[in-house]
Amino acid sequence: MRTIWVSKSGGGDFTSVQAAINSIPETADETVLFIEPGVYQEKLRIHKPDLRLYGVGEVRLVYDDYAPKPNSDGAPMGTFASCSTYITGDNIRVENIIFENTAGESGKVGQAVALYVDADKAVFKNCSFLAAQDTLYLAKPKEEKQNRSGRNYFEHCRIAGDIDFIFGSATAYFEECEIISLNVQKEINGYITAAATPEDKEAGFVFHRCRLVSDAAANSVYLGRPWRDYAQTVFIDCWMGGHIRREGWDDWGKPSVNHTVYYAEYGNNGPGADTDARVSWSKQLQEQEAGRFTLEDVFGGDTDWTR
């Protein structure tokens, strides 16, 4: 196992996270990066597999691109290009790191992604993901029948944003995370999720024992809306603040998806968890039905990599 230290002060092997990543040979075994405290203003591409990234103190990986920002040819760069950090290497573990896009408010800059992940066996523990619109992008939709989008695991993380701020086609499990809806002071204050779950996937986004919080007005934030027709999002044993809208879910103006999406809840509590007025096409699970959304079931019994 190779160990690399990154330090802005110059006391480590590299002063840049990207330089450290680039130094790893393509055929390397597991590599551990220890990143010392600081704000690393880098647009990162973490493409090597079998990595471990550990923040030692407060580490912020920051950039400020946004979707309408002009490229060199004058055309808008778009959502995907706005990402501050890209992770595309499988079998990666990240702990104690803040991923941030500092472009600004969604009403001014539009989509501005803090982290894009398109990798299998990606683990994030005690991390924060901070932006506004489209904070956490978990794999592009792939329109082919067999979809590679991987498995992502988040534990004790903080995710903040307003519009569709957890989105994409991956299978992702969120365990005891804090989901923070920013207050944009509008009647419809935002949407937490925008899943694009492929039709052939057994699960999309699962939130287990998470806390959904906001200082936005009551009844102003949707749990989710479908980026693609077979979107799957489930909340189990979560605490939901009063900002959650009574109907819970929105169909993005596509009533045809009412028969294809899988939006479900079980065992939630808090002022936003009342399901009496939920849309008719969402599901209130029974205990046996909720049992198929354990970590082991969602990841097909293969969970050693999450520990």
Q: What is the DSSP letter of 79?
A: H
Judge contact between 94 and 124, C-beta under 8 A: yes
Which of these, 243, 241, 248, 299, lies nearest to 270 by C-alpha position?
A: 241
**Among residues 118, 120, 162, 164, which one is catalytic?**
164
Question: Encoding tokens for residue 112?
Answer: 């501005």
Q: 134 catalytic, yes or no?
A: yes
Do 124 and 153 form a contact (C-beta atoms < 8 A)?
Answer: yes
29 catalytically annotated: no
Phi-psi region of 304 (alpha: psi -120 to 50; beta: other; left: phi over 0): alpha
CA dihedral 177, 269, 192, 48 (to 10 degrees): 20
What is the Cα–Cα distance from 148 to 142, expressed in whole angstroms? 8
Cα–Cα distances (Å) from 31 to 6, 9, 127, in that order, read 13, 22, 19
Of 65, 118, 134, 250, catalytic: 134
What is 200-269 written as a DSSP string? T-S--EEEES-EEEESSPTT-EEEE--SSTT-EEEEES-EE-TTB-TT-B--TT-GGGGGT-EEEEES-B
CA–CA gap between residue 234 and residue 178 (Å, rounded): 15
Indicate which residues carry an active-site annotation.
Answer: 134, 164
